[in-house]
Amino acid sequence: MLELRHVSKLFFAGTADEKIALAKINLSLKPGDFVTVIGSNGAGKSTLMNVISGVLTPDAGEVLIDGAAVHLLPEYRRSRWIGRVFQDPMAGTAPHMTIEENLAMAYKRGKPRGLQLGVTRAKRAFFQEQLARLNLGLHTRLRAKVGQLSGGERQALSLLMATFTEPQILLLDEHTAALDPSRAELVTRLTESIVREMKLTTLMVTHNMEQAIRLGNRLIMMDKGRIILDIDESRKKDLTVEQLLREFERISGHKMADDRVVFG
């Protein structure tokens, strides 16, 4: 479904600040895989997401979706395969537009946009039905501006917008990190049920170790632009946070340095 072959990315190439963000990454996801990604600060987790989504172009290597090389396509052309939720709850929605308008834009993900009406009666009914699944009461506020919603509500809406058109690949970039614990829990629960229901191939970066172990069927750990640990479903089941940290120190040779890490 998703495959990365020898993908490398260098920041500030040729200057004193040169930094290897990704070093010959190889990664292959089968359809329906739900992979959690953890790693210390600057490990390359976000760069990995950006190279897949097209925000960044890799310096070397290939990104394939469904067997087709996409690494040279700009972000807006890759969106037909990819749904995305950002860390910042403000980033995934347009604040001065209404909930239904935001959903109408997401509904057309990766498709040509012409002069048809964005919100039609039929679509509105569909949006209502989708919003009702969030259990946040948003289905009664279709015409409210998104800027009036709380961070948690906006992130839940972003998640719905990224997923309700069933993308081939879902990228979640620490999408619960900026929320308070109860809201983060809510969005995590929604993520779990949506991914399971739609069998979405998902890559999720998280700082929450416990979450990384509990969610998904595979866990990868990154350090200094490399994947240093790849744990499959059977081994992941009995994993503990302590084991994970010990394993990290053993392979990388240093302690997990992360100011935001949550041990669960």
In the numeric block, the tokens 């993520």 are attached to 191
Helix (H, G, I), strand (E, B) or coil at 142: coil
- Closest distance to another protein from the beta carbon of 47 (Å): 16
DSSP code, position 246: H
Provide the phi-psi class of 167: left if phi over 0, else alpha when psi is between -120 and 50, else beta.
Answer: beta
At 191, which amino acid appears? T
**Which of residues 29 and 49 has its CB atom nearest to another protein in the complex?**
49
- Closest distance to another protein from the beta carbon of 190 (Å): 19
Q: Considering only residues 8, 57, 79, 130, which one is a binding residue for another protein as defined by CB under 8 A?
A: 79
Query: From CA 183, how far away is CA 198, in angstroms rounded?
Result: 22
- Contact between 178 and another protein by CB under 8 A: the answer reads no
- Residue 260 tokens, joined: 């935001």
Q: What is the 3-state secondary structure (H, E, C) of 213-234?
A: HHCCCEEEEEECCEEEEEEEHH
- Contact between 142 and another protein by CB under 8 A: the answer reads no
- Contact between 101 and another protein by CB under 8 A: the answer reads yes
- Residue 111 tokens, joined: 């498709």
**Segment near another protein (CB under 8 A); pick from 7-15, 82-90, 128-136, 219-227:** 82-90
**Which of residues 95 and 264 has its CB atom nearest to another protein in the complex?**
95
Helix (H, G, I), strand (E, B) or coil at 116: coil
- Contact between 206 and another protein by CB under 8 A: the answer reads no
- Contact between 53 and another protein by CB under 8 A: the answer reads yes
- Contact between 77 and another protein by CB under 8 A: the answer reads yes
Cα angle: 229, vertex 217, 261; to 5 degrees: 55
- Contact between 52 and another protein by CB under 8 A: the answer reads no
Q: Considering only residues 1, 10, 23, 97, which one is a binding residue for another protein as defined by CB under 8 A?
A: 97
- Using CB under 8 A as the criterion, which residues of the chain lie in contact with another protein when the complex forms? 53, 74-77, 79-80, 82, 84, 86, 90-97, 101, 104-106, 108-111, 113-119, 161
